[in-house]
């Protein structure tokens, strides 16, 4: 059992023949991810990553997770973008929705910092941690990225004040560059436990490195199953696999064919609230990989059925520049049946005895039909259940599809030259040393 891809509801815009005509080009793009023949070849270490993870590496991550779980009631993951989104995507997908409220927790509460510069958020977080035994996983290649650097500075000072500097060293883990950078220097000086961010794996592709695996393991999730699922899709998408059986390649072609036909926005749809942050990870993956050179599909996401009551009208009848990719979970992990009510004031007795998921599935099917009838092409991705193995499959599916899709589009899917523009302006406005010339120009403009 694995991911299933259904492509028969493309609203007559892209045909099977259109897809097959691109099979050779898609296969060439897939091959380039292995032979490094195209741009970005210094960042394709993720391609063979799942199958290269060793038993020693997994055990080291698991042992460190046990150490943090033993010492901490809460663990703060400090990072931004790919340094935290992958971990949060998996943790939210595979944990109880109300886990953080439980008084009988088996694992630490996982909290996040360094993904914003909100003073209120940081104040509330540090206030919450005042009477907690907490630890920190600090994730940064350089250690100088503004948002996580501010958060880590605050949290490190608080942790050392609460438990002392020596004990704090046992509760801080640094995931950073192998040899250089501010965080690596600090970790060596203080004696923190460290893991390496591979040089050839970019942040948005790093969830299957210690960047994602350590926080996920601390949350009590089976990282071996997660990796196993990714390995299965890695093996199923080798260059030797025919295009007709390479599902990420087919998906990549469909996206680009729809883009050529004016479908500029892709909406990732889920019918399970636990997948909200998986969609956030997906948005970064595709947005940062393809949005350059004045090109790229705009990645958006909705949580159905909730957003049917807010975005549903626009999707049904708004500008026809969109298509949908729907993630469907075949079987939920729990069972709840709708009870009979003698009074039946809500008129729902026709649903009595049915599982809630049956209602959800009919809402999903009815919505997909309505949207296709309304001119919205629809791609369906179905997984058997919400489990570590199948989330691992989805992660690698989208990573591989994104690499192929970017090459089909004609961009380097592994760089992000535009993300520095705001930082230059921010540093100039804050009068950072070395930005005096930029500061004068910016202040004249405002």
What's the whole-number mean pLDDT along residues 66-90? 97
- Per-residue pLDDT, 437: 77
Judge whether residue 383 has pLDDT over 80.
yes
**pLDDT tens readout for residues 277-332:** 999 999 999 999 999 999 999 999 999 999 999 999 999 999 999 999 999 999 99
177-186, 393-402, 425-434: least confidently modelled range: 425-434
Segment holding 364, helix H or strand E: helix 356-373
**pTM, full prediction:** 0.96
**pLDDT tens readout for residues 219-269:** 999 999 999 999 999 999 999 999 999 999 999 999 999 999 999 999 999
Residue 145, strand partner residues: none
Distances (CA, A) of 398 to 115, 237, 312: 23, 12, 25
Cα 328 to Cα 379: distance, rounded to the nearest angstrom:
11
State both tokens at 42: 């210094």
Residues 6+ apart with CB under 8 A from 427: 435, 438
Residues 6+ apart with CB under 8 A from 269: 301, 302, 304, 324, 325, 326, 327
**pLDDT tens readout for residues 178-231:** 999 999 999 999 999 999 999 999 999 999 999 999 999 999 999 999 999 999
State both tokens at 353: 């005895």
Sheet with 109-113, strands from edge to edge, namely 109-113, 74-78, 134-139, 172-176, 193-196
35-49, 341-355, 423-437: least confidently modelled range: 423-437
Residue pair 378/7 in contact by the 8 Å Cβ criterion: no
Residue (of 192, 175, 182) closest to 138 by Cα position = 175
Cα 167 to Cα 257: distance, rounded to the nearest angstrom:
56
Cα 136 to Cα 174: distance, rounded to the nearest angstrom:
8
Half-sphere exposure of 151 (CA within 13 A, CB side): 28
SS3 246: coil
Residue (of 212, 236, 247, 253) closest to 25 by Cα position = 253
- Per-residue pLDDT, 430: 77
- Per-residue pLDDT, 102: 77
Residue of higher predicted confidence among 431 and 321: 321
Segment holding 65, helix H or strand E: helix 55-71
Sheet with 4-9, strands from edge to edge, namely 4-9, 378-383, 322-329, 265-270, 298-303
For the residues of 365-385, what is the DSSP string, one character each? HHHHHHHHHTT--EEEEEESS
- Per-residue pLDDT, 41: 97
- Per-residue pLDDT, 203: 95
Cβ atoms within 10 Å, residue 378: 21
Cα 434 to Cα 278: distance, rounded to the nearest angstrom:
38
Judge whether residue 125 has pLDDT over 80.
yes
Residues catalogued as catalytic: 288, 309, 423
SS3 48: coil
Residue 380, strand partner residues: 6, 326
């Amino acid at each position: 059992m694995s991911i299933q891809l259904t492509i028969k509801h493309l609203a007559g815009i892209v045909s099977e023949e259109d897809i097959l005509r691109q099979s050779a080009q898609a296969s060439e793009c897939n091959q380039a991810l292995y032979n490094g023949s195209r741009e970005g070849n210094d960042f394709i270490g993720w391609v063979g990553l799942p199958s290269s993870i060793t038993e020693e590496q997994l055990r080291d991550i698991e042992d460190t997770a046990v150490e943090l779980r033993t010492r901490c009631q809460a663990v703060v993951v400090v990072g931004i973008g790919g340094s935290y989104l992958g971990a949060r995507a998996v943790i939210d997908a595979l944990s109880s929705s109300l886990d953080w409220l439980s008084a009988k927790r088996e694992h630490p509460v996982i909290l996040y910092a360094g993904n914003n510069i909100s003073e209120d958020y940081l104040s509330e977080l540090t206030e919450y941690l005042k009477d907690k035994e907490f630890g920190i996983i600090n994730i940064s290649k350089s250690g100088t990225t503004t948002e996580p650097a501010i958060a880590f500075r605050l949290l490190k000072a608080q942790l050392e004040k609460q438990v002392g500097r020596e004990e704090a060293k046992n509760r801080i883990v640094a995931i950073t560059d192998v040899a250089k950078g501010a965080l690596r220097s600090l970790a060596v000086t203080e004696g923190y436990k460290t893991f390496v961010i591979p040089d050839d794996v970019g942040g948005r592709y790093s969830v299957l490195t210690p960047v994602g695996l350590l926080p996920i393991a601390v949350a009590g999730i089976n990282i071996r199953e997660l990796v196993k699922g990714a390995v299965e899709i890695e093996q199923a998408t080798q260059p030797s696999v025919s295009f007709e059986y390479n599902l990420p390649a087919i998906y990549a072609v469909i996206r680009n064919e729809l883009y050529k036909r004016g479908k500029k926005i892709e909406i990732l749809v889920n019918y399970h609230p636990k997948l909200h942050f998986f969609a956030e990870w997906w948005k970064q993956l595709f947005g940062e990989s393809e949005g350059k050179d004045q090109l790229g599909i705009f990645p958006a996401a909705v949580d159905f059925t909730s957003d049917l009551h807010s975005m549903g009208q626009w999707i049904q009848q708004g500008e026809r520049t969109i298509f949908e990719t729907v993630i469907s979970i075949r079987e939920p992990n729990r069972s709840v049946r709708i009870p009979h009510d003698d009074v039946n004031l809500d008129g729902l007795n026709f649903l009595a005895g049915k599982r809630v998921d049956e209602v959800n599935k009919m809402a999903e099917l009815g919505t997909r039909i309505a949207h296709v009838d309304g001119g919205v092409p629809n791609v369906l991705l179905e997984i058997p259940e919400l489990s570590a193995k199948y989330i691992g499959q989805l992660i690698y599916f989208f990573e591989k599809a994104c690499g192929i899709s970017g090459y089909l589009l004609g961009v380097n899917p592994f760089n992000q030259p535009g993300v520095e523009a705001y930082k230059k302006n921010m540093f100039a406005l804050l009068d950072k040393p070395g930005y005096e010339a930029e500061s004068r120009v910016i202040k004249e403009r405002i």
